[in-house]
Amino acid sequence: MELYPYIKSLHLIFVVTWFAGLFYIPRLFIYHIEAWQKPSPEKEILSTQLKLMTKRLWYIITWPSAVLCTVFAIWLLILMPAWLQQPWMQVKLGFVALLCFYHLKCHQIFKQLQRDEVKYTSRFMRIWNEVATLVLFAIVFLVVLKNAFNWIYGVVGIFVLAILLMLGIRLYKRIRDKNPNA
């Protein structure tokens, strides 16, 4: 148990860096998608630069952080196996599974954009970008409160947050439509 605080600290550090990558990669996807709407040669120049940026972010920060976060999480569960019996931990692991799905879907989108396959709109990507935020809120509240939520408040809270995020996206779109440089 002497190692517990160190392992927990490393787990939290890699949670932060993993989320940093998951927050930034969709933003780069948005820029990449919007670059395809530019005229040549701007489109090609931007696309080349954005491919390099996403590749470095994805393979140097995001993937290693996801792997190390998971390794330290498993180590913590080995040290504290009773946590697996706790309802809050079971719910948290459900959200972690959702986060892993999100990560893998981002990987799929990353690979498509690396091949110059643009299958999504920038608006879809702006909404997609908020999924990690919702998962982060859910996980942090579960871990801090250490209970599986009063489901009514938890579900309502996540929906309110999602609605606020969607309203923010719409407001940003209106501002951007009025001022394309915003």
Residues annotated within a binding site: 11, 92
Q: How far is it, in rounded angstroms, from Cα 120 to Cα 108? A: 12
Q: How many residues does the chain have?
A: 182
Q: How far is it, in rounded angstroms, from Cα 138 to Cα 24? A: 19
SS3 state at 109: helix
Q: Which residues are annotated as a binding site for heme?
A: 11, 92
Tell me, what DSSP letter sits at residue 62? I
